[in-house]
Chain A
Amino acid sequence: MRIPFSYSLRNLWTRRLTTILTASGMALVVFVFTTILMLAQGLQQTLVETGSYDNVIVIRKGSGSEVQSWIDRAQSSIVETDPLVATGTDGKPLVSKELIVLIGLPKKDTDRISNVTIRGIKESSLSLRPQVKLIRGRMPRMGSTEIAVGTSIAKRFKGADLGGELRFGMRLWRIVGIFDAGNTGFSSEIWGDVEQLMPAFRRPVFSSMIFRISDPSQFDALKKRIETDPRLTQEVKRETRYYLEQSEMMAKFLRILGISLTLIFSMGAIIGAMITMYAAVANRTSEIGTLRALGFERKSILVSFLIEALLLGLCGGVTGLFFASFMQLVTVSTVNFQTFSELAFRFSLTPDITVKALFFAIVMGFVGGVLPAIRAAHMNIVEALRTK
């Protein structure tokens, strides 16, 4: 026969102070666990959404990122003429040869210099990236020292708002537009005409090339053709894959950090649950004896106490998740070690993380409750009834 569920529930309610203290310890662990996973997820999501599946990026072999990559004019022309390069509505090929450099700009709040990505663009850059939308002003005119900045840059950096001027490469650059690229890495970039930026930074070569592939199923053939061409020293990647790799190291670092931290912390919370459950068993010794005398089996007692412990864990888990979900409103920015530049991103809560956090909380409850529950189940009826 099973002991009713409400028995476990009411036991928790009767010992409110203890329940709240134990559950809040677990809630904190779950909170830390969830926020760190959300951070890693947010970083990865930001970078993955930055790329699109139909776009192909060409970078120098072994360079790892656009910043260290180069492709000279002759090589870029060879790639440009590949038959798989898609044509835009205006009849021109959808290719953009770009320059990526980092410059240091002072932040608004702390005045500290942080690295910002500058991207030299061509006319087609915008149409290759439908996620980038101009929200104020206009795009920079080709052939002029005008630039447009992403929303995260405009918000975080000094003098980087519309109408402002930035000084780099021995010139003044006027900000004529602000673009929003949603939750992607482009929001943390500055865009200007590549043919103006290259001489300003004295770079004779492009950094990378991006183009739309006309038939995505032919990607492997394209990759083979470009990478085996003896005139080229570049490699080809889908843009989604490229940006995923950019976030891998950092996201992995955050995940390992988060999981090892929460494992240590959870030991504290599990011990808390264990103390609570042992006390619950000890205080109810005669009650357990009575239940056993009434005919409830050892198994039912075990299950009942386990359920109590699991409920405790669930309480903690739900509370922790509730508070962690507010973290979604926060935007953080950090330097991505792989690209060495500032990137702004949000905490992102996914169903997957929710399930993991709840599961983690229940496991904590279980580990904390299993030993006390076994002790309860193994009590001798007569001795248990005799205790006061």
Chain B
Amino acid sequence: MHILKILFKNAFRHKLRTGLTILSITIAILAFGLLRTVIGAWYAGVEASSAYRLVTRNAVSIIFSLPLSYKEKIRQVDGVATVSYGNWFGGIYIDEKNFFANFAVDAKTYFDLYKEYAINDAEKAAFLRDRKSFVAGRKLASRFGWKIGDTVVLKGTIFPGNWEFVMRGIYRGKEPNTDETVFVFHWDYLNETLKKNASTRADQVGFYMIGIKDPSQAVRVTHDIDGLFRNSFAETLTETEKAFTLGFVAMSDTIITAIRLVSFVVIIIILAVVANTVAMSVRERTNEYAVFKTLGFGGWRIAGLIFGESLVITLMGCAFGVAATFPAAAAFGKAMGAYFPVFSVEMETVWLDAAFSLIVGLLAAIVPTYRSLRISIADGLRMVE
């Protein structure tokens, strides 16, 4: 107990300096925690994907479509339970800044396949009845203040024109990591409009979403589906939903790698600051340590004092930082909800915070300890600041 008391007393001999050091560690831990949470949010879609779903798209690339006629053929494949389909609509609401994902989907099957999107039966029935209607996620609806019955106009980028929709329902996520920012409307509405205006583009879907009976059969089912359409005009590529989502995330992997590297840089910056503080404290106490040595305290005790002090400082900063990470992440998640549908701090981040504080505390004390142990008693006593 005594040793802990002396460590705290030593650490807070310079209140201002120690306070500033702790503050800088707090900031660094906070920044590190937030950066890791941002990366985690990037992968949220991958985490939320279901093993019971496959996605089939055109093998050439995602911008090419598949004929609607594939639907019945896919349904006949052994192991397939439901087949739904959709198009990325890419509509803009008022301004490009208001980005959110909007899909034209097969209304009848969509909510059966995406069971984690909870919608009450009355709203679902209203949605199915009205071809010009749409359903939005809870977060998206509250972002723009949409209420049931409101009319929303999207400007098409892929499908030109202004498209009018009426809101008929709001879905909620059943899991904490379910994306609640999606906008879905009737694929039939899109298709009928295309038949009138651009008939060559009608009866084409962007991707099929396939529900399977048994996830362990996924590989065989993907092979069977792709085999059906080999050497046709539109060859397909079927993947599990996880692989499909991961493909999108992987596109930005350069940026993710950069953020990851940078989150380690902040740890090194903080190492420099803490090492500086410890070096200064130890230098000022050269006399004291010489007295300790004269009294017969061994080198390992002095080393223990220095390491202990360094650890007291870093671990206090770490505790404050971790405590601040949770409210900060909540505030950040609220402000950036449009870009990161799911934003929560993982337990792993907290463990990493603690590990890095420990490492920084130990590394920072190495050089000062080495110096104070090497100096002879006479030199230590003689040294004047």
Binding site for B on A (CB under 8 A): 17-18, 21-22, 24-25, 28-29, 31-32, 36, 39, 60-64, 67-68, 101-104, 112-115, 168-170, 201-202, 204, 233, 254, 257, 261, 264-265, 267-269, 271-272, 274-276, 278-279, 283, 332-335, 337, 340
Alpha-carbon separation in the docked complex, A62 to B367 (Å): 62
What's the least CB distance linking B61 to chain A, in Å? 5
Cβ–Cβ < 8 Å partners of A334 in chain B? 251-252, 254-255
- Check if B265 sits within 8 Å of A268, measured CB to CB: no
Alpha-carbon separation in the docked complex, A136 to B275 (Å): 55
B62, B156, B254, B276: the one contacting A18 at CB < 8 Å is B276
Alpha-carbon separation in the docked complex, A101 to B58 (Å): 13
Q: Tell me whether B318 is interfacial, beta carbon within 8 Å.
A: no
Q: A114-B251, A261-B262 are in contact. List 17 more A-B contacts (CB 8 A).
A: A18-B280, A21-B273, A21-B275, A25-B276, A63-B160, A67-B63, A102-B62, A102-B63, A104-B59, A261-B31, A261-B35, A267-B24, A268-B273, A269-B273, A271-B23, A275-B276, A335-B251
Closest to A67 in B: B63
- Check if A168 sits within 8 Å of B60, measured CB to CB: yes
- Check if B20 sits within 8 Å of A268, measured CB to CB: no
Cβ–Cβ < 8 Å partners of A337 in chain B? 252
Cβ–Cβ < 8 Å partners of A32 in chain B? 262, 265
Alpha-carbon separation in the docked complex, A340 to B247 (Å): 12
Within 8 A of A (CB), among B236-273: 247, 250-252, 254-255, 258-259, 262, 265-266, 268-270, 272-273
Alpha-carbon separation in the docked complex, A31 to B61 (Å): 38
- Check if A25 sits within 8 Å of B61, measured CB to CB: no
- Check if B279 sits within 8 Å of A21, measured CB to CB: yes
B252, B259, B272: the one contacting A28 at CB < 8 Å is B272
What's the least CB distance linking B83 to chain A, in Å? 23
Taking chain B's interface residues, is the majority helix, strand, or loop, or is none over half, making it mixed?
helix
Cβ–Cβ < 8 Å partners of B367 in chain A? 17
What's the least CB distance linking B18 to chain A, in Å? 9
Q: Tell me whether B233 is interfacial, beta carbon within 8 Å.
A: yes
- Check if B20 sits within 8 Å of A29, measured CB to CB: no
Alpha-carbon separation in the docked complex, A28 to B269 (Å): 7
- Check if A104 sits within 8 Å of B266, measured CB to CB: no
Interface centre among A60, A267, A278, A333 (most CB of B within 10 A): A267
Bits for B9-52, please: 1 = Cβ < 8 Å to A, else 0. Answer: 00000001100110110011011000100000000000000000
Pairs A–B under 8 Å by Cβ, sample size 21: A21-B272, A25-B273, A28-B272, A31-B265, A36-B258, A62-B156, A62-B157, A68-B90, A101-B60, A102-B62, A103-B61, A112-B250, A115-B251, A233-B160, A261-B262, A271-B20, A271-B21, A271-B23, A272-B272, A272-B276, A279-B280
Cβ–Cβ < 8 Å partners of B31 in chain A? 261, 264-265
Cβ–Cβ < 8 Å partners of A60 in chain B? 160
Alpha-carbon separation in the docked complex, A269 to B255 (Å): 24
- Check if B270 sits within 8 Å of A268, measured CB to CB: yes
B27, B63, B200, B265: the one contacting A340 at CB < 8 Å is B63
Q: Tell me whether B385 is interfacial, beta carbon within 8 Å.
A: yes
B16, B28, B254, B280: the one contacting A333 at CB < 8 Å is B254
Cβ–Cβ < 8 Å partners of A333 in chain B? 254
Q: Which 8 A-B pairs have the closest CB atoms?
A: A335-B251, A25-B272, A334-B254, A272-B273, A271-B24, A21-B276, A268-B24, A102-B61
Alpha-carbon separation in the docked complex, A146 to B276 (Å): 63
- Check if A101 sits within 8 Å of B254, measured CB to CB: no
Closest to B268 in A: A28
